[in-house]
Structure 1
Amino acid sequence: MPEPQWQVQPVAELPTAFVQAVNQCAAGLSGYAAQLLWQRGIQDPEQVAGFVNPDLYQPTSPFEFGQEMHRAVERLRQAYEQEEAIAIWGDFDADGITATAVLWDGLGQFFPQDKQLTYFIPNRLTESHGLSLHGIDALAAQNCHLIVTCDTGSTNLPELEYAKNLEIDVIVTDHHTLPRDRPPVTAIINPRYFPPEHPLAHLSGVAVSYKLIEALYQTLPNPDRPLEGLLDLVAIGLIADLVQLTGDCRYLAQRGIEQLQKNTQAAPARPGIARLLELCKRSGDRPTDISFGIGPRINAISRIHGDARFGVELLTSQDAERCRYLAEETELANARRKALQKDLLQQVTARLAQIDLSTTSVIVLADPQWPVGVLGLVAGQIAQTYGRPTILLTTESTDLEAVTSVTPEGAIARGSARSVNQIDLYQLVKEQSHLLTSFGGHPYAAGLSLPVQNLPLFTEAINRQFRQQFGNESISAVIRADLTVTVAELGKDLFRELKLLEPYGMGNPIPRLLLLNCWFRNVRNQNIKDWKGRKIRYIKTEFDICDDSTDQSFPGIWWEHYRDEIPPERCDAIAELDYNTYKKRYEIRLIALRPRIGDSPINATVLANWILDWRQGKNLQGLELDNNPLQITHCPSSWTEMQFWFRRALQENRKLAIAYPPPSQQQPSQIWQQLVGIAKYLSRTGQTATRKQLHEKLGIGDRSLQIGFKCLKALGFEVTSSDQGFQITWQASQGASSDQQTTQVTAQFLSAVQEEQFRQQYFYEIPLPVIQSVAQQTERLGQAQAV
């Protein structure tokens, strides 16, 4: 895997009139806001005020959609006057759920909910995005003659024709790809009909739904609730869907965040959102409260449960107790999502270790065991890490070999695609549409399905198409830094200046800050916990960062990394500045680290030759016949263990071969039963067992074994050690602990084994460049100590 390239934006010479226009937005600005606005194309002084302050922006009329909006409003007026049944057809991601909620609340002002008005959302785990024949049949059976879609429907031509034949009218509100010809619908409201520079061109599904309701508010009589009461839902969907926040998108997000904050008041308008904010420890005044808080939780509903309908209830119900229950279920689903995402990322990384990426432009992987709900998330992580568009699929086949060879007739692979580096992945996929059963999405995110037997041909074809379009140049991830700052500048003033440009999103990303020649103190890591205090296998590292600009350090956090990955010596860092509402402090989120150029006593070529990666069956790689490398044959569970081997190899002047096999996949409960069985056997026979024998038999390390001995004592066993090994005897006279005590102690053992297995899996799958980097740090530290 190539090392990510760092790109730092140069400091521009700004016109005086432009700087003055920016400085009028707030007092005490240092110039960083002006630099960011200029970098992002806001270079007209007259644009600045409307970009920063929504009070100075003129939003676009919903009737800018022209005849299509008029047709939609007229058909809804007809339904209103004739009291027709209406069904909302939504989608299962955060944009689709919030869009459904906007239509449910908005149309509910004119059509009685659950009487005239219903909603339908496909199941993420069993169905695809968009309309379906069986869903249309179900609505027809309910005597429904009008469907209003949201965030879906533009390209469902067979289903739209089917609805028309059943005399069901369809109003499509969507923002996805348009068909070649206008579909057979009453109206299609889709911003893709506008040119890219139009202020409505980048609306997400929820924003299009809002525009329809806005038009109805201007047309139909006497709504009870103010229209702006829907804007918190609009902001959630807009920011969670990663659309370009320009024009009306930015304006709606700004107004929506203002509305979102009201849910932290004593009597919130949306008790479900209020409880979500409480659970994720957010105040609702930042776009990151959505992108890192509410958005992932709403998405987690369908990723884990499949059925996303209770997400609409969570967002729209006024029953506080019901909302509390639904919010807590959502929080637990998000915790489960994090664990699944972590596991899948490790599996995909392990698969990529077996692939020659020098010949791979687009990553395409499939597995029958992969959970479909988190494929898109992991595809996005892999795309960013490896600098390549990534497509991950799950298949119906139960035989992994069938994925690449003989496949069952009719078996389907379906999944998600994510892009990187401004590559239009949607077009790449579209070029292979003859091999697919369905696909849809955006330039940077798409969903698709295809016959399993077409997978090898699809993989070859999309890679060939990529090479034809972009050439054979080396692909690598790119990490961009917007501003170069010092630790002394981090804090309230800089945060306040950068906040002027919020909300951040596509086209206006969160500013990334380059900190040069810095170092770290008080580095510690831990697993995070869910709202009930239970650990989630999802690591984070906390630290204090320092540099020569000040004697004061500044706090920070690095998600999904261990503390040993932070070097003990000076380095360069890229980070984002944030405010932690829960801890009430400013902090940085670390994005990337690299050694200071010229500071390394061992160069990358030496490291590549010194450490041999023999995992995944890569034996004999880089090994000369007369060499005798030191081999690590037991999978470690900490960097301390790895560093012991680094130092030993350096001391003995030998290469180091990472040759440990995959860690045990045994369930902790099975290991516990094995330990009890060994205890019974040794007690009955009077024999002993050495520490090495117990390690090899149980596949656990010292810490888990010691906790296991405590558990045996709770059962009534006595464990003693001697030169010959461990002897275990049954002390019947002492009796065992109570069932409750035994359960508690046993739970400690199961937790310790689970944690050890998690860490071993991390070390089995961690990329070689990370190991080389930590080895380099170990060697530097050894040299410093020697001096």
Structure 2
Amino acid sequence: MSKRWVLKSKSSSNQLRKLQTELHIEESLALLLSQRGIDDFDSAKKFFRPSLDDLHDPFLMKDMQSAVERIEKAINQSENIMVYGDYDVDGTTAVSLVYLYLKQIYSNLTFYIPDRYKEGYGVSKDGIDFAADNNIHLIISLDCGIKANEQVEYARQKNIDFIIADHHLPGENLPRAVAVLDAKRKDCSYPYKELSGCGVGFKLIQALNTKFHLDKKFLYALLDLVAVSIAADIVPITGENRVLATYGLKVLNKKPRLGLAMLLPQEKKGNINISDIVFGIAPKINAAGRIHHATDAVKLLTCENSLTARKYVSQINKLNTQRKNIDHSITDEALALLGKETEKKNTSIVYQPHWHKGVIGIVASRLTETYYRPTVVFTKGEDNVLVASVRSIKGFDVYEALEECSDLLERFGGHMYAAGFSMKEVHLPEFQRKFEKAVSKKINSHQKNPSIEIDTEISFKEITPKFLRILHQFQPYGPENLNPLFLTQNALFAGYGKRLGKNGEHLKFDLFSVDSKQIFSAIAFNMGELLPRIKEELFDIVYSIEENHWQGKTYTQLNIKDLRFHN
């Protein structure tokens, strides 16, 4: 499917010239900074030189003092404490973080991850019953709990207190917990609102570290877990998240904890970036909760014994392989079902009762990439109730469309681009009709065609060693600071080209441009069939610039995202 090329708008020339002069950089780099809201020397300094000194005081977060006092009381009175978290990467890293920190200063401690299939997302009554049965009187919930009003009341009846550390949007009424730590609370004046769940957990242990007057090294050694959560949960890498991610990556590359070290690909060790976490580490951690139980992930992340860690890594790798096989099988089935449709629709809706609940979100994402329209993938859950994962396309609010079908749904939640819900099977035909109508009413023609946003156009002559050094400092990349995409016109094949991959689907080749004889190496995924034309024709490219590490050497590589021939 061809993509529209959209060149981002430029800032005023006066503003760009001012930034260029202050920083002694090229106009294209000044433009990239301006697009990220950086318009003067001081903001550029904070961007290029993130510092742990720039982390906000954790006690600025509403209820932090109450949370610290309750934990201190539990420690002083030798109470049992349970660290509770969600089963995804953000939840398991958050539980591991707080558990590892408290374990160094306190022993009456355990952790709990709900079973994805038996208990579902968030705080469960089963988890609270486990706490009651084990004489636990304080639960610290991480990456969940902000809407667990009923569960917190249930816990209160059993004489169990809650500290909630979450980053999701609260409901109208907060749970009656001892403390509710969430920067998105309307009454919370904490300066940064986009922390991951593990990030909120970090603020809690940062506050405890201050209270107990402990060495900060004690705290910062855990930042590899925070970096993994930031990458996996796709939160903005701006402000405080940029600081946490930067220093977390340093820990991950220099001295990662045992479990993470064993998950890292050998060839990337010492050069792990956010993308490596998203595509390499996070799926393995997630596989534990998708296929078996996320407790395995926490055991790995908190393990200090090599033999035991190896056992968990082996198990998690097997689960990840199993997850891939299931995912590919279901995707093939779903594509076959959609391929039989004769009517042109604005949505993709597929259902098979035997599909694995743990991977339908991944399948929905794959179908969205293929057909580029809002997608719902159903399977059968408990008690003959259908469960669904929903994915959207750029600029279309799928949550809003689901709200128009809410009378048919049992439970639903999510946000603009992804959601999940449950529904009685009898409502499926009506849902298909109603969801298609809701989407068709609001989707516009531009949204139906995928677009690629280009930061700026540059000549190959601009890609100098100084340019690359400064560009490298834009990392870590992520939401609101994406790896910049450049446009260069009039490119030509430079004599080397080779198809890669099992079926020759990818392409590696050298190229130069009409106005520059400098030759660059390029990689182009899923463009292998274009090699004959690339050898003969003039073309324009949209690409990112990356470092490729191979056999101990590092070189600059263009990662081509799209390509257009002149003819």
| Distance in 2 (alpha carbons) for counterparts of 1:240 and 1:8 | 28
Asked whether the 8 Å contact 1:277–1:284 carries over to 2, the reply is no
Cα deviation digits, residues 131-162 of structure 1 (max 9, x gap): 22223222221122221111112123332222
SS in 2 for 1:148: strand
Q: Which residue of 2 aligns with 1:577?
A: 545
CA gap 1:158/1:455 in 2 versus in 1, 3 angstroms: farther
| Distance in 2 (alpha carbons) for counterparts of 1:193 and 1:500 | 33
For residue 53 of structure 1, the aligned residue among 26, 44, 49 is 49
Kindly indicate whether residue 387 of structure 2 is the aligned counterpart of residue 421 of structure 1.
no
SS in 2 for 1:274: helix
Higher relative contact order (CA 8 A, sep 6+): 2
Q: Which residue of 2 aligns with 1:610?
A: none
| Distance in 2 (alpha carbons) for counterparts of 1:98 and 1:440 | 22
Cα deviation digits, residues 189-235 of structure 1 (max 9, x gap): 11212599964211110101111111111223657961111111111
| Distance in 1 (alpha carbons) for counterparts of 2:354 and 2:240 | 42
Kindly indicate whether residue 268 of structure 2 is the aligned counterpart of residue 295 of structure 1.
no
RMSD: 3.1
| Distance in 2 (alpha carbons) for counterparts of 1:450 and 1:492 | 57
CA gap 1:258/1:133 in 2 versus in 1, 3 angstroms: same
Deviation (angstroms), 1:483: 2.5
Mapping of residues 380-779 of structure 1, within 5 Å: 380-396=365-381, 410-469=383-442, 475-486=448-459, 493-519=466-492, 521-527=496-502, 540-551=506-517, 553-559=519-525, 561=526, 563-566=528-531, 568=533, 569-583=537-551, 584-596=554-566, 599=567
Kindly indicate whether residue 121 of structure 2 is the aligned counterpart of residue 129 of structure 1.
yes
Q: Which residue of 1 aligns with 2:95?
A: 100
CA gap 1:344/1:225 in 2 versus in 1, 3 angstroms: same
Which amino acid letter does the alignment assign opposite residue 41 of structure 1? Answer: G
| Distance in 2 (alpha carbons) for counterparts of 1:489 and 1:197 | 43
Deviation (angstroms), 1:590: 3.0
Asked whether the 8 Å contact 1:151–1:173 carries over to 2, the reply is yes
Which amino acid letter does the alignment assign opposite residue 72 of structure 1? Answer: A
SS in 2 for 1:581: strand
CA gap 1:14/1:90 in 2 versus in 1, 3 angstroms: farther
SS in 1 for 2:365: helix
Which amino acid letter does the alignment assign opposite residue 300 of structure 2? Answer: L
Deviation (angstroms), 1:494: 4.4
Asked whether the 8 Å contact 1:514–1:573 carries over to 2, the reply is yes
Deviation (angstroms), 1:107: 2.0
Mapping of residues 163-174 of structure 1, within 5 Å: 163-174=155-166
Asked whether the 8 Å contact 2:352–2:380 carries over to 1, the reply is yes
Q: Which residue of 2 aligns with 1:76?
A: 71
SS in 2 for 1:191: coil
Mapping of residues 316-355 of structure 1, within 5 Å: 316-355=302-341
Higher mean Cα deviation, 484-493 or 75-84?
484-493
| Distance in 2 (alpha carbons) for counterparts of 1:48 and 1:196 | 28
| Distance in 2 (alpha carbons) for counterparts of 1:240 and 1:252 | 14
Asked whether the 8 Å contact 2:492–2:514 carries over to 1, the reply is no
Higher mean Cα deviation, 177-186 or 457-466?
457-466
TM-score, L = length of structure 2: 0.88
Where structure 1 has 5 or more consecutive residues not aligned to the other structure, the ranges are 24-28, 264-268, 398-409, 528-536, 600-787
SS in 2 for 1:590: strand
Asked whether the 8 Å contact 1:151–1:205 carries over to 2, the reply is yes
Mapping of residues 189-338 of structure 1, within 5 Å: 189-193=181-185, 199-220=191-212, 226-263=218-255, 270-279=257-266, 281-303=268-290, 305-338=291-324
| Distance in 1 (alpha carbons) for counterparts of 2:249 and 2:276 | 9
| Distance in 1 (alpha carbons) for counterparts of 2:89 and 2:484 | 24
CA gap 1:311/1:502 in 2 versus in 1, 3 angstroms: same
Deviation (angstroms), 1:299: 2.2
Asked whether the 8 Å contact 2:253–2:269 carries over to 1, the reply is no
| Distance in 2 (alpha carbons) for counterparts of 1:240 and 1:122 | 19
Asked whether the 8 Å contact 1:198–1:247 carries over to 2, the reply is no
CA gap 1:248/1:85 in 2 versus in 1, 3 angstroms: same
Q: Which residue of 2 aligns with 1:636?
A: none
| Distance in 2 (alpha carbons) for counterparts of 1:175 and 1:494 | 37
| Distance in 2 (alpha carbons) for counterparts of 1:228 and 1:173 | 19
Equivalent pairs: percent with the same residue? 31
| Distance in 1 (alpha carbons) for counterparts of 2:469 and 2:349 | 42
CA gap 1:228/1:62 in 2 versus in 1, 3 angstroms: same
Asked whether the 8 Å contact 1:282–1:581 carries over to 2, the reply is no
Which amino acid letter does the alignment assign opposite residue 544 of structure 1? Answer: D
Deviation (angstroms), 1:488: 5.7
| Distance in 2 (alpha carbons) for counterparts of 1:555 and 1:126 | 50
Q: Which residue of 2 aligns with 1:185?
A: 177
CA gap 1:87/1:482 in 2 versus in 1, 3 angstroms: same
Which amino acid letter does the alignment assign opposite residue 351 of structure 1? Answer: L
Which amino acid letter does the alignment assign opposite residue 111 of structure 2? Answer: Y
Deviation (angstroms), 1:463: 3.7
Which amino acid letter does the alignment assign opposite residue 523 of structure 1? Answer: K
Deviation (angstroms), 1:353: 3.1
Deviation (angstroms), 1:545: 4.0
SS in 1 for 2:377: strand
TM-score, L = length of structure 1: 0.65
| Distance in 2 (alpha carbons) for counterparts of 1:31 and 1:357 | 49
Which amino acid letter does the alignment assign opposite residue 240 of structure 2? Answer: D
For residue 366 of structure 1, the aligned residue among 346, 351, 358 is 351
Where structure 2 has 5 or more consecutive residues not aligned to the other structure, the ranges are none
Deviation (angstroms), 1:79: 0.9
Q: Which residue of 1 aligns with 2:32?
A: 36
Cα deviation digits, residues 176-201 of structure 1 (max 9, x gap): 23111111222211121259996421
- State the number of aligned residues: 558
Cα deviation digits, residues 321-343 of structure 1 (max 9, x gap): 33234334434444444444444
| Distance in 2 (alpha carbons) for counterparts of 1:293 and 1:153 | 29
CA gap 1:582/1:342 in 2 versus in 1, 3 angstroms: farther
Kindly indicate whether residue 148 of structure 2 is the aligned counterpart of residue 156 of structure 1.
yes
Q: Which residue of 2 aligns with 1:737?
A: none
| Distance in 2 (alpha carbons) for counterparts of 1:154 and 1:475 | 35
Deviation (angstroms), 1:283: 2.0
Q: Which residue of 2 aligns with 1:19?
A: 20
SS in 2 for 1:180: coil
Q: Which has the larger radius of gyration?
A: 1
CA gap 1:347/1:436 in 2 versus in 1, 3 angstroms: same
